[in-house]
Chain A
Amino acid sequence: MSTIAPEKYKENASKNIADPVLQKALSGLQERLGPATENLYNSLPEGHKMRTEAHQFRRKAIDNLDVLLSTLVDKVRGHGGIVHFAKTAEEAVEICKKIALDNDVKTVVKGKSMVTEEVGLNLALEKEGIEVYETDLGEYILQLSGEAPTHIVAPAIHKTRREVAELFTEKLGTPYTEDPPILTRYARKALREKFLKADMGISGCNLACAETGHIVTVSNEGNIRMSTTLPKIHVAFMGMERIVANLEEQQSILRLMSMGAAAQEIGGYVSYVGGPAEVDHGDGPQEFHLIIIDNGRSKILADPEFREMLCCIRCGACLNVCPVYGKIGGQAYGSPYCGPVGAVVTPLLFGINNSADLCAGETLCGACKQACPLEINLPRMLLALRSKLSEGDPDWDVQPKSKGENLIFASWQRFNSNRKVYDLLLGLMRVLQHLLPAKQGMISRLPWPLSGWTANRNMKKLAPKTFMQQWREKKEKKGS
């Protein structure tokens, strides 16, 4: 379960960096998935242009979201499905709660869905006395341990097999073993009972197809198929941007998404759900509800600087290459959306001010953009967010940064653009720097207001001569 607390970023990041188990898990994950995804991109039969094209397909869908959603809704209704619209998280939860209560639902099985985490669905249903089971193995482990996810696709990657063994013995009463296949079988058995007795299945939606009127879910475990086939009611939660116009466009995006998410050509189970089971079909849910959720997305849509972010399909590829995520882990971001994608989406959905550290924490190295199957320009949007934090923006309710900081940067700019003043300051600093505390030839602590810079790192001392001086001297030597 994730709570939304991005303001604890620094505190959690420091804790995670000091956790050797997590560090090992994160580096193992990045070493395996990052290069594997890149290899798949490099061997695309359609070549590199496939990713650029897929970006355009998504962009076209976002730019025509009103038309596409209307088409999807009409088609789903035509298939016998019921469509609901939720402007806010509370509304989405209310709708689902009402369906559950109207149908006397006792047990819910859930496929992994980021958006249900975003709206805080589980807690609301549990308050009504409804049992809710996460069925993705990683999510199930976290539900049992009461922890937040570390990764979008591999949420429990920080748990060692030993921890899982202890957890299962405690919560499921199974014999102790550290063997992942046996542990998986324990969870399989425990959850099979839930699948068979559940009266409501909840899924997300990876990417809907407007022209055919289907939502699409992808999983490798088969838990989403179980959740959407066996219970009598299927409720699908869909962030309003998760849609594409045509089947052929969806084909390329789904394949790219599978590469980004798990370095696969295609996810193990891809299901197109258009509506409930027809009367003469032997199984499948009797009711299909689709809840389409805004919850701050139309605000992102309206801002040309951030509209591109709605192209994101939450595959998690950017996590597998990000040097910052690779050290601090997903829990540090304090949001269901972590890593580079989280550093942009979390501020936009839950407030820029209290997520300030998230966008400042990323390095702007550009690895995320290279790894993104859709080549979404995350670094550009990180910079745009930082600029809003610095200058302020009433539209996004961002207060400008402290006047002091702005003043320092303004003076810095003035000194820097005057050669004489710059040289003078440089000379002064060369002398003064010897008064600062140093370790192994590096400055270990700067005085306030620069002390933040050396809080977590040492700073190199200024060289005795600038490059320009050295250059001039070399030239003079040659000349003589």
Chain B
Amino acid sequence: MEREKGEKRLMTTQKEFIQDISTALGRPTPVSVDVFTVAPTTAEQDILKAVRQRSSGERQPFIKTLQEVSVPLHLDFHPERSLEDIRQAIITLILEKDPEWGTKKSVVRWDHPLLNSLNLEAAAELKDIPLYITNHVAATSSADDLQAQRQQTRKEVEASFIGITSADYCIAATATLAMKTRPGQARSVSLVPSIHVAVVEESRLLATLKELYTLLKWDEAEQAEGLTNNLSLISGPSKTGDIELVMVHGAHGPRELHLFVVSDHR
């Protein structure tokens, strides 16, 4: 028995693992090397400046770009721009679309200022349809409370056929939504319901992925928050070509993605 114990393989430690790599690299230990960038390049400074100084007028071409790239991505880009029109369009979606699993309709959304201002809860047309909000879970709650609230959120998200979110940014060139994880903004809302509706402020539009990454990397507020433990970039609805390369939308994530951009002049 003792021998068996002795023979049992010990797990590799970080030190051994890294040491082997250093040895393979021909150096005894990790040397301090200058691999991490600490200041933006001139080009990156220019991008930051351009994004910060961009006027509403300069963002208008992004709307057209979004319209164009939405088509091949199979993304539903909606023309409504005012909060009231968007509210009405979302109500219509909720009423007209059919649930994929079962027959009962319910909707789940983030607790987010822009979505709160849509005030869907007050819509008389939706009075028979439960509208869940992924509320804040207070960090100070007891472990049991936290668990119970998570289970509640999970149940509501699973039951909902439409999930409504906003996004940190929307990239015009690729119709990409960038979302960090935050309290009140459950990430499954953009994933589990069959239809994902995203509402973003026009001021959150960016031209390219390069602009997004430059902001994530060098913008002070972004740096302070970090990427968070989950940052998702979403470009269009879920899709697959795994059967004879035939493109099918709705593999495991949402089958439809509806995008609304709220005008700055509202």
Q: Do A and B come from one complex?
A: yes
A residues sitting closer than 8 Å to B (CB atoms) are: 25, 28-29, 32, 45, 60-61, 63-71, 73, 79-80, 83-87, 90-91, 94-95, 135-138, 141, 154-157, 159-161, 164, 180-181, 183-185, 187-188, 191-192, 195-196, 210-212, 214, 220-223, 225-226, 229-230, 240, 245-248, 250-251, 255, 262, 265-284, 288, 292, 294, 298-299, 301-302
Chain A residues contacting B13 (CB-CB under 8 Å) are: 85
Residue of chain A at shortest CB distance from B249: A181
Chain B residues within an 8 Å CB radius of A71: 36
CB distance from A290 to the nearest CB of B (A): 12
Indicate if the CB atoms of B182 and A281 lie closer than 8 Å: yes
- B89-97, B119-127, B197-205, B211-219: which lies at the interface: B211-219
A266 CA to B150 CA in the complex, in Å? 32
- Complex Cα–Cα for A157 and B242 (A): 6
A86-B12 contact in complex given A66-B22, A67-B35, A283-B153, C-beta closer than 8 Å: yes
A81 CB to closest chain B CB (Å) equals: 8
The docked-state distance in angstroms from the alpha carbon of A224 to that of B26 is 37
Q: Give residues of chain B (202-238) contacting chain A, Cβ–Cβ below 8 Å.
A: 208-210, 213-214, 216-217, 226-236, 238
CA distance A30 to B158 in the complex (A): 39
A102 to chain B, nearest CB (A): 14
Q: Mark B19-41, 1 if CB is under 8 A from A, else 0.
A: 01111111101111101110000
Q: Which residues of B contact A156 (CB under 8 A)?
A: 242-243
Q: Which of A69, A79, A161, A222 contacts B229 (CB 8 A)?
A: A79
Q: From B36, B184, B252, give the contact of A223 (CB < 8 A).
A: B252
Is B105 among interface residues, defined by CB-CB distance under 8 A? no
Interface residues in B, total, Cβ within 8 A: 85
Q: Which of B11, B21, B135, B239 contacts A65 (CB 8 A)?
A: B21
- Pick from A180, A262, A283 the residue with the most CB of B within 10 Å: A283
| Among listed B49-57, B58-66, B77-85, B136-144, interface-contacting one | B136-144
- In the complex, the answer to whether A246 meets B37 with C-beta atoms within 8 Å is yes
User: Cβ of B188 < 8 Å from any Cβ of A?
Assistant: yes
Query: In whole angstroms, what is the CA distance A230 to B227 when docked?
Result: 20
Collect the chain B residues with CB atoms within 8 Å of residue A266's CB.
174, 176, 209, 233, 235
B261 on the A face (CB < 8 A): no
Would you give the shortest CB distance from A228 to chain B, in whole angstroms? 8
Q: Which of B21, B138, B213 has the most CB of A within 10 A?
A: B21
A280 to B134, CA, bound (A): 11
Indicate if the CB atoms of B227 and A268 lie closer than 8 Å: no
Task: List chain A residues, Cβ under 8 A from B236.
Answer: 268
A183 touches B243 (CB 8 A): yes
> B242 to A136, Cβ gap below 8 A?
yes
Whether the pair A298, B20 counts as a contact (CB closer than 8 A) is: yes
Q: With A and B bound together, what is the CA distance between A269 and B73 in angstroms?
A: 12
Chain A residues with Cβ under 8 A from B170's Cβ? none
Residues of B within 8 A of A245 (CB): 35-37
**Contacts A225-B232, A272-B231, A294-B17 given; does A160 touch B252 at CB 8 Å:** no
Whether B213 and A251, one on each chain, are in contact in the complex, defined by CB atoms closer than 8 angstroms, is: yes
Known: A223-B253, A229-B188. 20 other contacts (CB 8 A): A67-B30, A69-B17, A85-B12, A91-B11, A94-B11, A141-B242, A154-B242, A188-B250, A214-B227, A229-B230, A268-B238, A272-B227, A276-B229, A278-B181, A278-B183, A280-B146, A282-B135, A283-B153, A283-B187, A284-B230
Interface residues of B (CB under 8 A from A): 9, 11-14, 16-18, 20-27, 29-33, 35-37, 44, 101, 134-139, 146, 149-150, 153-154, 157-158, 173-174, 176, 181-188, 191-192, 208-210, 213-214, 216-217, 226-236, 238-246, 248, 250-254
Report the minimum CB–CB distance from B98 to chain A (whole Å).
14
Residue of A64, A181, A301 touching B248 (CB-CB under 8 A): A181
Cβ contact within 8 Å between B234 and A268: yes
A246 to B34, CA, bound (A): 12
Contacts of B253 in A (CB 8 A): 221-223, 225-226, 269
- Which residues of the other chain, B, contact A25 by a CB distance below 8 angstroms? 244
B12 touches A66 (CB 8 A): no
Asked if residues A246 and B234 are in contact (CB atoms below 8 Å), the reply is no
Are A251 and B209 in touch, CB under 8 angstroms?
yes
Q: Which residues of the other chain, B, contact A210 by a CB distance below 8 angstroms?
A: 35-36
What's the Cα separation between A141 and B252 when bound, in Å? 14
Kindly state the separation between the CA atoms of A246 and B217 in the bound complex, as whole angstroms.
Answer: 9
Which residues of A have CB within 8 Å of B243?
137, 141, 156, 159, 161, 164, 180, 183-184
Report the minimum CB–CB distance from B32 to chain A (whole Å).
8
Q: Are A281 and B35 in contact (CB under 8 A)?
A: no
**Partner of B226 from A138, A212, A220, A267 at Cβ < 8 Å:** A212
Distance (whole angstroms) from the CB of A166 to the closest CB of chain B: 13
In angstroms, Cα B251 to Cα A79, docked, is 31
> A154-B242, A247-B213, A268-B239 known; A282 and B184 CB under 8 Å?
yes
Contact B183 A281 (CB under 8 A): yes
Residues of B within 8 A of A91 (CB): 9, 11-12
Give CA–CA (A160, B243) in the complex, Å: 7
Rounded to whole Å, the gap between the CB of B258 and the closest CB of chain A is: 16
Q: Looking at B27, B176, B213, B226, which has the most chain A CB atoms within 10 Å of its CB? A: B213
Known: A135-B252, A137-B242. A282 touches B149 (CB 8 A): yes
Q: List 6 A-B contacts (CB under 8 A).
A: A64-B25, A66-B21, A191-B252, A246-B35, A281-B137, A283-B187
Decide: B11 and A246 in contact? CB cutoff 8 A.
Answer: no
Contact assessment for A196 and B230 in the assembled complex, using a CB-CB cutoff below 8 Å: no
